[in-house]
Chains A and B, each alone.
Chain A
Amino acid sequence: SSELTQDPAVSVALGQTFRITCQGDSLRSYYASWYQQKPGQAPVLVIYGKNNRPSGIPDRFSGSSSGNTASLTISGAQAEDEADYYCSSRDSSDNHDVFGTGTKVTVL
């Protein structure tokens, strides 16, 4: 079964543009989706498919993919972007889904 690996933590300055990555073999076959989770809250979908944002998600969130790596870019970090971020995709060898290890984003 596939694993999705993310950097554990990243610190960014207010207004800085930064990228979170997610690596795994399944990403060669399926797009990743990305979720933002703030303390005490359920995850919220921020990016899915090639680069799609659900209604209500700011356009500073964007997604991309290359080979076995998916990326979530936040252009101009805001204080409210401080959260845990998880990627997810369908496992390429079995009919189930897998989540990444998660990245804790701190906005300074």
Chain B
Amino acid sequence: QVQLQESGPRLVKPSETLSLTCTVSGGSISSYYWSWIRQPPGKGLEYIGSIYSSGSTNYNPSLKSRVSISIDMSKNQFSLKLTSLTAADTAMYYCARQRWEYSNSGSAYYFDYWGQGILVTVSS
């Protein structure tokens, strides 16, 4: 059973950079997409970005200028960096495994395993 666990600071100051790590256990990090998703308190889910095991990345256009996702195959980990933080970045941050499938009838991308989430507060 694949398990994901987020780690990092829970309180960060405005204008600083957030660094989070997701550790994957119970399976290899190879040949999958690995994603970050966040959820401000009382609000909906927001896709942040994904990285493939090869290192190629996709980012939410609204966050692209501030986001960087990297992967460390040797540690079975992937990481998120989000710069120039404001109070609007206060949220539960989830890491997740993303899969895709193609068929004659269409294509699908989906997040099949999620971490429990880490609540990050941006405040001075």
Q: Which residues of A contact B (CB under 8 A)?
A: 1, 29-31, 33, 35, 37, 42-45, 48-50, 54, 86, 88-90, 94-102
Contacts and interface: CB of A to CB of B under 8 A. Distances in A.
B45 A43 contact: yes
Contacts of A102: 44-45
Secondary structure call for the B interface? strand
25 contacts: A1-B62, A30-B107, A33-B109, A33-B111, A35-B45, A45-B110, A45-B112, A48-B108, A49-B110, A50-B103, A50-B106, A50-B108, A54-B112, A86-B44, A89-B109, A90-B107, A96-B49, A96-B50, A96-B60, A96-B61, A97-B35, A97-B58, A98-B47, A101-B44, A102-B45
Contact of B114 (A1, A33, A43, A50): A43
B32 interface: no
Contacts of A42: 94, 114-117
Interface in B28-62: 35, 37, 44-47, 49-50, 58-62
Residue among B45, B47, B50, B60 with the most chain A CB within 10 A?
B45
A40 to B, nearest CB: 9
A82 B45 CA distance: 18
B112 A96 contact: no
Interface residues of B, number: 29
A1 B59 CA distance: 12
Contacts of A44: 114
Contact of B44 (A30, A54, A99): A99
A88 B46 CA distance: 10
A92 B94 CA distance: 24
